[in-house]
Amino acid sequence: MARDSVIRHREVRRRSVPAEYYDALPDDMDPVLRRVYAARQVRPGELETALSCLLPVRSLGGLDPAVGLLCAARSGGASVLVVGDYDADGATASALMVDTLRRFGFPRVDYLVPNRFQFGYGLSPAIAELAAARGAALLVTVDNGVNSFDGVKRAQELGMRVLVTDHHLPGCLVPPADAIVNPNLQGDGFASKALCGVGVVFYLMAALARELDLRGQLPYESARGILQAGLDLVALGTVADLVPLDHNNRILVAEGLRRLRSGRGRAGIVALFRVAGRNPTAAHAADFGFAIAPRLNAAGRLTDMSLGVECLLAEDPGRAARLAAELDSLNSQRRELQSRMTEEAERHLRALSASLDAGRVAPASCLFDPAWHEGIVGLVASRIRERTGRPAIAFARSEGRDVIKGSARSVPGVHVRDALALVAARGEVEGLEFGGHAMAAGVRIPMAGLERFTAAFSAAISVQLALAEPDDILWTDGPLDPDQCSVEMADRLQLASPWGQAFPEPLFHNRFEIVDRVVLKGSHLRLVLTHEHGGEPIEAIAFNETRELPGHAGLVYRLGVNDFGGRRRRQLVVEHVQPE
């Protein structure tokens, strides 16, 4: 996208390091790591990421009736149908539920991931009818269902019992399911509201394992090994769904990464690592977010997420490799389609910006193109959000020519679902349907109401922006000395991971002399730098950057390691070039 007036400038600021957190951490901790942890308000008890430090399983509400339903299905040989969602969290949650129940001795377990283009999101009455046609006695939702009032009711009318597992925010009414497990239900005292869909399934399976042991139906030692084998799925879904990495989620991600690094990852995830050109035995959380999740999500965006679930369930490495290759091919198609749509979105945005004052950014962007693919609009909205620093919605045609469906992406401090709820409460747009959470939401409106919706949504966002911290601030962890820009420090920071949403990977800020620059593949810069305080030259890479840079510049960077060619050497990954 052209660097024009719609793109906000970034102000670089250093994170504060509260003394109460810094002083509480061990005195012998590396000083850089100590200040990084303190800036994220980590307490000594949160340094450990062993599975034993997880929040107690029974502290999650709704587990007793849910476990009762599952045990009755197992004892009676009833058919269990898992209804999933079409993103990476939904796919991993579906795979974890299906695989674990089968290994726990459930005789009849199958799954269904609704085709998003035919059935939309969640448990609808039409999906309930499909489940009944497949002979399901117990219908279990994963990563959806808490707002599926009509679908749950229809399933029960058709004779099924319904167990809802979800993590999304409920509406004013919850469906009349036989049991609901969701840490975000009103009154649930579970301490981690950031648990994602696959995390909820993991807790439910852990509670089920205890109950089966108490009933003498499955020794807990056997069940524990089955639970631990699913932690790579939990880690992948947690990172992919961009939920905050609080202490509980960091434990789940760290345990999953440990399984992969030790060579115990499941065949499907290992195959996805290989088609992505990544090494599973050196896996990092960022690999899940930037390499594995996009390939998994490509199935749900373009065709059917059942392909992704089958890959995750595959036990034979050869079959897993074939399915991963299909997902990789779909992801290539997705990238090409996304690139075209993003270019079109940028043209729309530049046209909108022509009417703005110089340097001013609209409160929100609502863009529609009749040629856009509804499976990619969320990615387009994310790209526009990144460029403008403001919430964005990208719309595509849905359900014929009269309805459009959009994906919204927000910025920190602006709750996009609340903004949509305000628009709905004011009754300014007829036929508005929406759902989601703070940072992302789905919207469906009549095409004729787009202009009215855009005005109403922008007004609702303006209310929140007036109270939110500006998103044009780039927070860093301060400078590194020349001797701290080392392979050893990069390794130390990596071992302190997992980093991710709401627990950001450390960024540092120094001035450098730019000794040499080479453009790679027409879109990236390879740099050779000299630190402002001396030392040996340092390699650096600046992705998606080809501008001429001054001889000296302030750089915001991540400290990494380049091991190309078998020789490990330090490398800075430049995230931002600070103007003179």
Rounded to an integer, what distance in angstroms lies between the CA atom of residue 297 and that of residue 305? Answer: 7
Asked whether residue 472 carries a pLDDT value surpassing 80, the answer given is no
Burial class (CB in 10 A: 0-12, 13-18, 19+), 240: buried
Phi-psi region of 448 (alpha: psi -120 to 50; beta: other; left: phi over 0): alpha
Give me the pLDDT at residue 274, please: 97
Angle at 20 between CA 15 and CA 25, to 5 degrees: 90
Residue 539 backbone dihedrals phi, psi, to 5 degrees? -75, 150
Q: Which domains does the chain have, with CATH numbers?
A: 59-258 (3.90.1640.30), 356-465 (3.10.310.30), 474-578 (2.40.50.460)
Q: Which residues contact 58 (CB under 8 A, 6 or more apart)?
A: 207
pLDDT at 388: 81
pLDDT band at 360 (very low <50, low <70, confident <90, very high): low
Backbone angles phi, psi at 544, to 5 degrees: 55, 40
Q: What mean pLDDT comes out for the span 318-323?
A: 98
**Cα–Cα distance for residue pair 257/254, rounded to 1 Å:** 5
For residue 297, CA distances in Å to 45, 191, 236, 301 come to 35, 29, 12, 6
Cα 194 to Cα 20, 84, 148, 187, 539: the distances in Å are: 25, 19, 21, 15, 37
Q: What pLDDT, in 10s, does the model give residues 41-64? A: 999 999 999 999 999 999 999 999
- Comparing 449 with 354, the larger pLDDT belongs to 449
Q: Using CA atoms in the order 260, 264, 265, 268, what is the torsion angle rounded to 10 degrees?
A: 150
Q: Is pLDDT at 553 greater than 50 in this prediction?
A: yes
More confident residue, 342 or 478: 478
Helix (H) or strand (E) holding 444: strand 440-446
Q: What is the pLDDT of residues 7-43, one digit of tens each?
A: 446 789 999 999 999 999 999 999 999 999 999 999 9
**pLDDT band per the 50, 70, 90 thresholds, residue 520:** confident
Tell me the per-residue pLDDT of 163-192, one tens digit each, with 9 for 90 and over: 999 999 888 889 999 999 999 999 999 999
Beta 524-531 vs 538-542: how paired, if at all?
Answer: antiparallel
Q: Which structure tokens are listed for 414?
A: 């602006």
Residues with Cβ within 8 Å of 377's Cβ and at least 6 positions away in sequence, in order, are: 341, 394, 395, 396, 405, 406, 407
Cis peptide before 176 (omega within 30 of 0): no
Q: How far is 271 from 263, CA to CA, in rounded Å?
A: 12
Strands 473-476 and 11-14 turn out to be parallel
- Separation CA 454–CA 345 (nearest Å): 16
| pLDDT at 2 (0 to 100) | 33
Instruction: Give tens-digit pLDDT for 407-430.
Output: 999 988 889 888 998 998 888 888
- Taking all residues of the chain, what is their mean pLDDT, rounded to a whole number? 90
Instruction: Starting at the earlier edge strand, list the strands of the sheet with 161-165.
Output: 109-112, 80-83, 138-142, 161-165, 179-181
- pLDDT of res. 31: 96
Contact 527, 550 (CB under 8 A): no
User: Is 109:82 a contact under the CB 8 Å cutoff?
Assistant: yes
Average pLDDT (250-255) is 98
